[in-house]
Each structure stands twice: as structure tokens, then as C-alpha cells.
């Protein structure tokens, strides 16, 4: 797989997997994700379709490929008993014959956040961390956070001390004040004025960014989960690659998920495409650095759809799957409960339209945030219950967990810009068809 032009790679990473906050350099062990046997290269692979109950989902996904909405797509769903739908349509790359399968490798980007939150909450369960604990006790770099208050006439940044300490809850809920550069009008200017390296460069020197607001004052999507990744490493004395593997991936049987991927897995990684102005799709080959100074807890994981469904089934089953208890039921319940009080989730306003459109998962609906999840406070338009929780990845990957109807679903593509209208419609068709099929039992 080719490496994207460096400028584009920096822009891509700034939006998709930017990390923040300085931490002592650590030795990243060069472990690779284990390979699994690929189940075939046919353009379509499906099992457990439910005796035709989900025919409308098959039709929607097939139409998504034939219409040029996506090059390839994989979708899965499960209930409390197991996988009820699994299908893949299209190709990994238009230039080759190989089809997308459930064992194709996708860059998960912000779908990484839920896994980082799970690791963090394991440490909370063990009494090694507390949600209200000031995180300066773990990372001294957080002892005196500064808020960016604008720029003077000569372009120099104006900073002031934050009014309160940054807690673990702030970081898990995007209320810490740390934001992504590409959702900000000011952070790119700060980087230019100070010479601070961009987080896209995967260098620890990029972790000196100021806050955009005082902790607890607002909800703004950002790099708090990258900071949480640093906290997990500091408390566990392991890199995220090793901690995730030992405490989450191996117990769940997620043998194809990790920050580092093997040469064989690169051969079955789905190519990223970008939507052009005329609606056509253009390849954008990309390879995330395999020698980073830090692992991005906010967006660095690669994995397969089948692996990620194992993780979602763990959440659906209140923390236990594959014979392993990853979290306690009360912890999962807390993670899907409003943790931001009277604050609301704000629509995402993109300052980089090549990489993301403006995004709002539930327009017109009040949304809350749990411990790494968006929560719809009313029933969704396509079938999910009020109180369901969800999120997405930059390359138009999406998932949800419905704790009321006991169903979870996920759809995987590799397409920019994020929140592509055609892909969002396809995702809606998948969800509607799934709930419609379940109603026909």
C-alpha cells in the first residue's frame, strides 16, 4: 500500500486521529496483529441472513456498491444470542479482483475510542483511577493547563490559566477543553505561531496544545481519548498495543485488531477513496505510521468487522463475551448513561470539507454523552430505541448498541469525506432493514 503525500497525510491525521498532551516517551514494543485465515475473496460473502428476513438489507448494500455510493461495504448485526446478519459487498480496491470480506482490514479511526474507554474503565473498576480524580496526579503535564484566549495584534497567542483541574470524566466525555485542530478555527493558528508540531506527525512534542475552554464548560469533540490512552499506559505500565491485546483483544478473540499490522494484513486492507465533486470515487492510498512515538487511543487502531462485532457483543451482553468478563455490568451501564449533565452534544462543524462534512447523528434531537458514546435521548428515525449509544470512524464506519431491544449493528467503509450523505443514507437503510427483519420473527 502506497504512502500518501506527507502534507495530505498530516491533514488526514489531524482530523482523524490527532492526539494531545505531553507524556514521557515510552518504548513501543514492535508487536504485530496476528493474521487470521481469510474466508475468501468473492465480491459478496453472506451467512445467517435470517431466512430472508433481512433481504432488504442485502438489496440496500448491493445497490450501494452498484450505484457508486461505496466501493466496498461490510455490515454485521447481533442480538443477545449471537450474530444475526453478516454480509460484505464490493471490492477492497477497484484496481484488483479481491472482494471485501468480514476479515478485510479497515482503519477504525474514532471507533478506537470505545476500546480505549473500556481499558480505562477496567482500571477504574480496579480502583487505580477515579472519574473525579484530577489527572495531573497521573500525568504531571496536566498540572497547570492553559486556555487559549485568542491572539494579539501581532499574532501571538494569548493564554490564561484554566479555572479548574482536568478530571478523568472531562477527558472521557469531551468536556476537557482539548479539541481537534480540524474542528477548530484557532488551533491551526496556534501551531503556526508557536512552531508546535502537528499531532498528525505522531511526535510527543505535539502534546503541548492549550485548551479551547475551561474544563467542564462545554462539550466539544476532541482528543481527550488520546490523553486517556496516555493515562492507561502510565497506570498499567504497558503500551496500548500490549494492554489492549492482553486485556481486551485476546479474551474476546479479536486476533486481527491492533495498532500495528503485518505485511500479510496490509495486502487485505481496504483502500480509502474520496468522493469527488461529480460523485465519483478516487483512491487515496494511505498507510498510518508503523513506527509512531505514541499509539493514538483516539483513532489509531486497524481491525476487521468480525473483530469489532465481538467487542460490540461484549457491550451488548453487559461486559461479558466469549467466556470472558471484560467489564462489570454496572460499568457498562455507566458508560451508556448521560455523563455531561445539562450540557448537550453539539453538531460537528468541519473546517476541512475535504476530510469531513458537518455532522450530526440525530438532527433536531437532544443528544447526551456517556463515557465515550453519543446517546440518542429519543427513538431514532430508523428503529433504534431511546437510550441507544453509538459513534463512528472518520472513513464512514458506524456502529450502535441498543440496550432496550438488545441488538447491535455496524457498517464499515473506507471513504472520505466523513458523514457522506449517500453513505449515511445507506447506513439508515441497513438499520431500518435490520429492525424490520427482527419485527418479522
Side-chain half-sphere CA neighbours of 268 within 13 A: 22
Peptide bond into 417 cis (omega under 30): yes
Calpha distance 120→142 (Å, rounded) = 18
> In degrees, to the nearest 5, what angle opens at C-alpha 396 toward C-alphas 392 and 399?
35
| 32 Cβ contact list (under 8 Å, min separation 6) | 258, 260, 261, 262
The three three-digit cell numbers of residue 417, written as one number: 469525506
The three three-digit cell numbers of residue 335, written as one number: 458508560
| 30 Cβ contact list (under 8 Å, min separation 6) | 260
Provide the angle, in degrees to the nearest 10, between the axes of the packed helices 421-439 and 55-66.
160
Which residues on neighbouring strands pair with residue 412, listed in sequence order? 74
Residue 114, classed as helix, strand or coil, is helix
Pairing of strands 106-107, 281-283: unpaired
Which of 75, 103, 99 lies closest to 87, judged by CA?
Answer: 75
Which of 381, 363, 391 lies closest to 221, judged by CA?
Answer: 391
Judged on CB neighbours under 10 Å (0-12, 13-18, 19+), 330 is: exposed
Q: Which residues are catalytic?
A: 110, 113, 221
Which of 228, 220, 213 lies closest to 131, judged by CA?
Answer: 228
| 224 Cβ contact list (under 8 Å, min separation 6) | 20, 170, 171, 172, 173, 174, 176, 178, 298
Amino acid at each position: 500500500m502506497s504512502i500518501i503525500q506527507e502534507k495530505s497525510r498530516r491533514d488526514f491525521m489531524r482530523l482523524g486521529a490527532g492526539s494531545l498532551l505531553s507524556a514521557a516517551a515510552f518504548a513501543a514494543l514492535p508487536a504485530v496483529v496476528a493474521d487470521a485465515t481469510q474466508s475468501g475473496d468473492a465480491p459478496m460473502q453472506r451467512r445467517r441472513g435470517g431466512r430472508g428476513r433481512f433481504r432488504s438489507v442485502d438489496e440496500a448494500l448491493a445497490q450501494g456498491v452498484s450505484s457508486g455510493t461505496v466501493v466496498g461495504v461490510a455490515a454485521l448485526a447481533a442480538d443477545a444470542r449471537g450474530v444475526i446478519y453478516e454480509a460484505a459487498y464490493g471490492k477492497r480496491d477497484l484496481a484488483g479482483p479481491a472482494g471485501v470480506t468480514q476479515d478485510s482490514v479497515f482503519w477504525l479511526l474514532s471507533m478506537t475510542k470505545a476500546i480505549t474507554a473500556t481499558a480505562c474503565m477496567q482500571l477504574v473498576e480496579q480502583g487505580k483511577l477515579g472519574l473525579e480524580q484530577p489527572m495531573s496526579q497521573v500525568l504531571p503535564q496536566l498540572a497547570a493547563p492553559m486556555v487559549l484566549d485568542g491572539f494579539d495584534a501581532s499574532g501571538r497567542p494569548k493564554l490564561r490559566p484554566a479555572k479548574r483541574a482536568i478530571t478523568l470524566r472531562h477527558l472521557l466525555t469531551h468536556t476537557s477543553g482539548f479539541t481537534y485542530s480540524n474542528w477548530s478555527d484557532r488551533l491551526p493558528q496556534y501551531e503556526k505561531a508557536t512552531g508546535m508540531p502537528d499531532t498528525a506527525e505522531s511526535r510527543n512534542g505535539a502534546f503541548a496544545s492549550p485548551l479551547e475552554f475551561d474544563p467542564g464548560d462545554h462539550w466539544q469533540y476532541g482528543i481527550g481519548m488520546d490523553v486517556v490512552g496516555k493515562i492507561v499506559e502510565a497506570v498499567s505500565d504497558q503500551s496500548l498495543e500490549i494492554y489492549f491485546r492482553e486485556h481486551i483483544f485476546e479474551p474476546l478473540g479479536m486476533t486481527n485488531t491492533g495498532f500495528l499490522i503485518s505485511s500479510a494484513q496490509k495486502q487485505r486492507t481496504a483502500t480509502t477513496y474520496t468522493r469527488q465533486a461529480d460523485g465519483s470515487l478516487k483512491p487515496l492510498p494511505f498507510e498510518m505510521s508503523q513506527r509512531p512515538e505514541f499509539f493514538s487511543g483516539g483513532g489509531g487502531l486497524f481491525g476487521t468487522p468480525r473483530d469489532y462485532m465481538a467487542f460490540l457483543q461484549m457491550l451488548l451482553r453487559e461486559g461479558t463475551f466469549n467466556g470472558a468478563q471484560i467489564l462489570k455490568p454496572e460499568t457498562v451501564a455507566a458508560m451508556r448513561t448521560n455523563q455531561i449533565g445539562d450540557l448537550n452534544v453539539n453538531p460537528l462543524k468541519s473546517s476541512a470539507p475535504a476530510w469531513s462534512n458537518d455532522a450530526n447523528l440525530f438532527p433536531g434531537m437532544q443528544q447526551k454523552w456517556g463515557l465515550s458514546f453519543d446517546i440518542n435521548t429519543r427513538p431514532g428515525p430508523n428503529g433504534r430505541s431511546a437510550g441507544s449509544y453509538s459513534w463512528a470512524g472518520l472513513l464512514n464506519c458506524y456502529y450502535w448498541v441498543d440496550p432496550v431491544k438488545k441488538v447491535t449493528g455496524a457498517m464499515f467503509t473506507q471513504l472520505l469525506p466523513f458523514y457522506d450523505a449517500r453513505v449515511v443514507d445507506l447506513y439508515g437503510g441497513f438499520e431500518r432493514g435490520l429492525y424490520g427483519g427482527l419485527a418479522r420473527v
